[in-house]
Amino acid sequence: MYEHATSKRGCRMVDLRGRDFLKLLDFTPKEINHLLKVATTLKKQKYNNESHKYLKGKQVALIFEKDSTRTRCAFESGAVDLGMQATYIGPTGSQLGKKETIADTARVLCRMYDGIEYRGFDQTIVEDLAKYSSVPVWNGLTNEFHPTQMLADVMTVREEFGKLKGITLCFCGDARNNVGNSLMVVCSKLGMNFVCAAPSELFPDEKLVKTCKEICKETGGTIKLETDIMKATKNADVLYTDVWVSMGEPMELWKDRIKLLLPYQVNMKVMNNAKPNAIFLHCLPSFHNIDTTIGKEIYEKYGLKEMEVSDEVFESSHSRVFEEAENRKHTIKAVMLETLKP
Ligand code: CP
Ligand code: NVA
């Protein structure tokens, strides 16, 4: 049976039961490390084919107002591993948004389900959902934050280097997006060095930078914003990038973003500028070739065969993107287990 985390004296150290998981700013370093520890245990259990249906009989609702492969599959298959049933509510086919408010949806779903996941637009929507729900609400990505992604990312980094404190992670690209923001937060929380390589127009929000710098004072982390990609990536342990235009942003933005962000592409010259044993991460999906509909469209319009990362880096021995994608499942299971367990 799954045990609560206990100290040597037998008192409980971290208790996340009933908590929402909306952004990592709401969690202490100890709580985040605890979730990573639980995810590691769940990963071992999965690999050893050990049954871990600790939430048998519970049910979860998964609201997706935007597309998803990894997050949806991690929640759905993770719920089944833990003994639960999951209901997927997609961008169409429910009353949400058209005839029913988020507050009413929350008040209905929490009478039928034990937990609710939400992927969609403004952070205020998921915060509202949590406000009106009596069961835990998990953020599966909003315009501002992508907290479940972060747990998988730092788990992958720790698996590689055996530690997180002192590790330098450089994010190259649109550093104001959900992934850029969230990486800055998780690095500050866990005492890592966060470097952003971006044009100043796409630097993260000043208020969030200030908040993260305050957190760093406690944890020993650092934050650096840099416009020169070679300076930014020098001696980094981890290079990370994400798409240049995020879900929900208009297609017309591509033209400007390509102009702004092409100098920040993670290619072999950039990868070789980091430490020799540096790894490459990407939340995925990624435009590293033209074998997708949008990839083709961009190629036809702008002549680019690869965007935020070159195919060479994506397919190289530095790349840990599929280990990272797998860890989405183990970490999302940890979030569901720790917030829903009796
Ligand atoms: N990284 C991530 O969130 O992937 P999906 O959009 O496929 O869920
Ligand atoms: N910034 C990306 C992340 C996808 C996982 C987006 O929001 O589309």
Q: Do 283 and 221 touch, CB atoms closer than 8 A? A: no
Ligand 1 lined by 68 (C-beta under 6 Å): yes
Answer yes or no: do 34 and 75 share one domain.
Answer: yes
Q: Structure pTM?
A: 0.96
Looking at the domain assignment, is residue 15 inside a domain? no
The residue with tokens 């998803």 is: 68
Q: Which of 54, 44, 47, 50 is nearest to 79 (CA)?
A: 54
Answer yes or no: do 333 and 204 share one domain.
Answer: no
Q: For 107, how many CA atoms within 13 A lie in the half-sphere containing its CB?
A: 6
pLDDT of residue 144: 98
Answer yes or no: do 118 and 37 share one domain.
Answer: yes
CATH number of the domain within which 230 lies: 3.40.50.1370
Ligand 1 atom 1: the closest Cα is on which residue? 283
pLDDT of residue 6: 52
Looking at the domain assignment, is residue 245 inside a domain? yes
| pLDDT of 3 strictly over 60 | no
pLDDT one-digit tens code per residue, 241-281: 999 999 999 999 999 999 999 999 999 999 999 999 999 99
Q: Which residues of 240-257 are buried (b: 16+ CB within 10 A; e: fewer)?
A: bbbbbbbbeeeeeebeeb
Ligand 1 lined by 42 (C-beta under 6 Å): no
The mean pLDDT value of the chain amounts to 96
pLDDT one-digit tens code per residue, 42-57: 999 999 999 999 999 9
Answer yes or no: do 178 and 309 share one domain.
Answer: yes
Sign of CA dihedral 71, 74, 77, 83: negative
Looking at the domain assignment, is residue 72 inside a domain? yes
Answer yes or no: do 172 and 313 share one domain.
Answer: yes
Is 146 assigned a catalytic role?
yes
Distance 244 CA to ligand 2 centre (A): 9
Point out which residues pair with 128 in neighbouring strands.
none
Domain that holds residue 88: 24-145+327-340
Looking at the domain assignment, is residue 160 inside a domain? no
Domain count, the chain: 2
Q: For 244, how many CA atoms within 13 A lie in the half-sphere containing its CB?
A: 28
Answer yes or no: do 127 and 81 share one domain.
Answer: yes
- Other C-beta atoms lying within 10 Å of the C-beta of residue 289: 16
Looking at the domain assignment, is residue 127 inside a domain? yes
| pLDDT of 23 strictly over 60 | yes
Point out which residues pair with 224 in neighbouring strands.
195
